[in-house]
Amino acid sequence: MPKESKSPLLEYAGSILKIAVGIVAPILLGFFVGNLIDKRLNSAPWMTLLLLMLGVIMSFGWLYRISKQSQDD
């Protein structure tokens, strides 16, 4: 059976969704996990800030890798 090709619009939408989730997910995860740790250790806002910054760094690092990968293709 021949493999059906995706429409360019679906490929574009998939790329946009992948980038959006890849940026937002680590930031939200860092915020919520940091907030949970702060509540348990009564150390607010330090773990939230630390993990939030780590999430931002991870998001931009992931975005950089994706952009380099798309340049190579």
**pLDDT at residue 4 greater than cutoff 50:** yes
Burial environment of residue 49 by CB neighbours within 10 A (0 to 12, 13 to 18, 19 or more): middle
**Residue 8: inside a domain, yes or no?**
no
Note whether residue 6 is domain-resident: no
Is 34 a member of any domain?
yes
In a domain, 67, yes or no: yes
Beta-carbon contacts of residue 24 (< 8 Å; ≥ 6 apart) = 59
Q: Domain count for the chain, please give it.
A: 1
Residue 1, pLDDT score = 47
pTM as predicted: 0.81
Range of the domain at 40: 13-72
Question: Which amino acid, one-letter code, is at 20?
Answer: A
Residue 1 within any structural domain of the chain: no
Instruction: Report whether pLDDT(24) > 90.
Output: yes
Rounded Cα distance between 21 and 14, Å, is 11
